[in-house]
């Protein structure tokens, strides 16, 4: 068990949690289910979900939540939608990339980089920028981040 405001994997248990997934037992013997989501409890016990653990960007030993960077970019008036992901990097392990859908007035990559640097540590500023007309989502509205990563890794 972690202390308040310490990030870790979220586990749940209860009668509503299924015991198997694709013929694999997913509930531990004590009834806990690992969700593969990262998050933390604050001092009052409220849960904050930071995102999928397999989407976490690991850059030089620092774990970064794509959602945190996306939230900052979505605050920019020229950003209609955005996806942040990690791309392979020989020096740092991964580099931060952002795929942006512009609003009415399209911002430049330099403008967006300055926006992020003013609000987050500079290491969280995307190094790679791509602009698209739309982001890929599945039928339930989930961002297809892995699809974007595969497309950008091929480039």
Task: Give kind and range of the element (H or E) at residue 93.
Answer: strand 93-102
Domains within the chain, CATH numbers bracketed: 8-53 (2.30.38.10), 56-154 (3.30.300.30)
Query: What distance in Å separates the CA atoms of residue 151 and residue 155, rounded to the nearest whole number?
Result: 7
- Whether 126 and 68 have beta carbons less than 8 Å apart is answered as no
Q: What are the residues facing 57 on neighbouring strands?
A: 64
- pTM, two decimals, is 0.76
pLDDT digits (tens, 9 = 90+) for 35-54: 888 888 999 999 988 777 87
pLDDT digits (tens, 9 = 90+) for 115-130: 999 999 999 999 999 9
Q: For residue 66, what pLDDT is reported? A: 92
pLDDT digits (tens, 9 = 90+) for 138-153: 998 889 998 999 999 9
- Give the percent of the chain with pLDDT over 70: 94
Residue 18 CA, distance from chain mean position: 25
Place of tokens 């020229």: 78
**Better-predicted residue by pLDDT, 22 or 32:** 32
DSSP-derived 3-state class of residue 61: coil
In angstroms, the Cα distances linking 54 to 14, 91, 102, 114, 119 are: 24, 20, 27, 27, 25
Per-residue pLDDT band at 23 (split at 50, 70, 90): low
pLDDT digits (tens, 9 = 90+) for 54-99: 788 989 988 898 999 999 999 999 999 999 999 999 999 999 999 9
Query: What distance in Å separates the CA atoms of residue 27 and residue 44, rounded to the nearest whole number?
Result: 27
Pairing of the two strands 20-21 and 24-25: antiparallel
Tokens of 31: 């009834």
Residue 70 CA, distance from chain mean position: 8
Terminal C-alpha separation, the chain? 42
Residue whose C-alpha is closest to residue 38's, from 4, 69, 6 = 6
Q: Is the pLDDT of residue 112 over 90?
A: yes
Name every residue whose Cβ is closer than 8 Å to that of residue 41 and which is 6 or more positions away in sequence. 2, 4, 5, 47, 48
Task: Give kind and range of the element (H or E) at residue 114.
Answer: helix 109-117
Q: For residue 90, what pLDDT is reported? A: 93
């Amino acid at each position: 068990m972690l202390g308040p405001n310490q990030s870790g994997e979220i586990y749940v248990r209860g009668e509503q949690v299924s015991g198997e997934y694709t013929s694999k037992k997913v509930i531990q013997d004590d009834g806990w289910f690992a969700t593969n989501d990262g998050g933390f409890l604050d001092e009052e016990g409220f849960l904050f979900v930071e995102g999928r653990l397999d989407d976490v960007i690991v850059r030089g030993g620092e774990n970064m939540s794509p959602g945190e960077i996306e939230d900052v970019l979505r605050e920019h008036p020229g950003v209609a939608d955005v996806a942040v992901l990690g791309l392979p990097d020989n020096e740092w392990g991964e580099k931060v990339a952002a795929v942006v859908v512009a609003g009415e007035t399209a911002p430049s990559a330099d403008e967006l980089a300055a926006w992020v640097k003013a609000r987050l540590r500079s290491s969280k500023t995307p190094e790679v920028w791509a602009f698209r007309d739309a982001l890929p989502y599945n039928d339930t509205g989930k961002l297809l981040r892995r699809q974007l990563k595969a497309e950008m890794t091929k480039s």
